[in-house]
């Protein structure tokens, strides 16, 4: 996985802070991590945290000028070896499933031909909703890799499925996708 580029999408789940540990694990393994956050994610974890840990600026705004002629989302989409969305909200999963692109991350999703890995995290009822389940099946049938959620006490106070899986298990799965060297 050394030297490979992961575009790490972080969305507005309460579990967004756990992307910090994942970023550290990836960077320690020599991965080039480029973090892309949704606006909602920036309300839960400060971009400066992920910027410092990834050692690169964090991208949030689709319209931000990057000094290049090429739009930032195309550069990130083309250069990614893996697009990983950790954690993935019900909203972003729905946007991916239906090809809608209102923000930077969803534009990258449509523009990339890299492998796509998605680790959902949400309230158990949101996860069990037929709309979310249908959207997850669409992504699975499209060939994307979905990571199972974990069971336990959710941040919303409910017990059950929907927790972001342990970061170590997500890291191991990404390692197998990227190759362990």
11 binds ligand FMN per the rule CB under 6 A: yes
Q: In this chain, which of 6, 7, 8, 12 binds ligand FMN, going by CB under 6 A? A: 12
The residues assigned a catalytic role are 156
* Binding status of residue 14 toward ligand FMN by CB under 6 A: yes
Distance between CA atoms of 51 and 8, rounded to whole angstroms?
Answer: 12
Q: Is 111 a residue that touches ligand FMN (CB under 6 A)?
A: no
The pair of three-digit structure tokens given for residue 134, joined into one six-digit string:
């249908």
What size, in residues, is the chain?
181
Distance CA 30, CA 138 (A): 32
- How far apart CA 179 and CA 181 sit, in angstroms, is 6
In terms of Cβ atoms closer than 10 Å to its own Cβ (0-12, 13-18, 19+), residue 94 is middle
Q: How many residues bind ligand FMN (CB under 6 A)?
A: 15
Query: Is residue 90 involved in binding ligand FMN (CB under 6 A)?
Result: yes
Q: Which residues in the 123-142 window bind ligand FMN by CB under 6 A?
A: 126
Coil, strand or helix at 35: strand
Q: Does 149 interact with ligand FMN (rule: CB under 6 A)?
A: no
Q: Which stretch binds ligand FMN (CB under 6 A): 24-32, 58-66, 71-79, 85-93?
A: 85-93
Minimum CB separation of residue 29 from ligand FMN in Å reads: 26
30 to 49: interface string for ligand FMN, x by CB under 6 A:
--------x-xx--------
Using the contact rule CB under 6 A, the part of the chain among 86-94, 110-118, 137-145, 170-178 near ligand FMN is: 86-94
CA dist., res. 124 & res. 101, Å (int):
26
- Residue 83's H or E segment, with its range, is strand 82-88
Written as six digits, the tokens of 120 are 């959902």
**Structural tokens at position 102:** 């209102």
Residues that bind ligand FMN (CB under 6 A): 11-15, 38, 40-41, 89-92, 121-122, 126
């Amino acid at each position: 996985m050394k030297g490979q580029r992961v575009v790490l999408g972080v969305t507005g789940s309460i579990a967004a802070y756990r992307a910090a540990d994942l970023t550290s694990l990836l960077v320690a393994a020599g991965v080039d991590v480029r973090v892309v956050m949704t606006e909602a994610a920036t309300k839960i974890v400060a971009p400066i945290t992920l910027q410092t840990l990834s050692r690169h600026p964090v991208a949030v705004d689709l319209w931000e000028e990057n000094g290049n002629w090429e739009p930032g989302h195309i550069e990130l989409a083309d250069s990614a070896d893996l697009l990983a969305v950790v954690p993935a909200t019900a909203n972003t999963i729905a946007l991916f499933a239906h090809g809608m692109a209102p923000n930077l991350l969803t534009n990258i999703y449509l523009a990339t031909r890299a492998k796509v890995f998605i680790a959902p995290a949400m309230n158990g009822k949101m996860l069990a909703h037929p709309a979310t389940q249908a959207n997850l099946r669409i992504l699975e049938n499209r060939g994307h890799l979905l990571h199972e959620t974990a069971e336990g006490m959710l941040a919303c106070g409910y017990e059950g499925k929907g927790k972001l899986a342990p970061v170590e298990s997500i890291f191991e799965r990404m390692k197998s996708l990227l190759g362990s060297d």
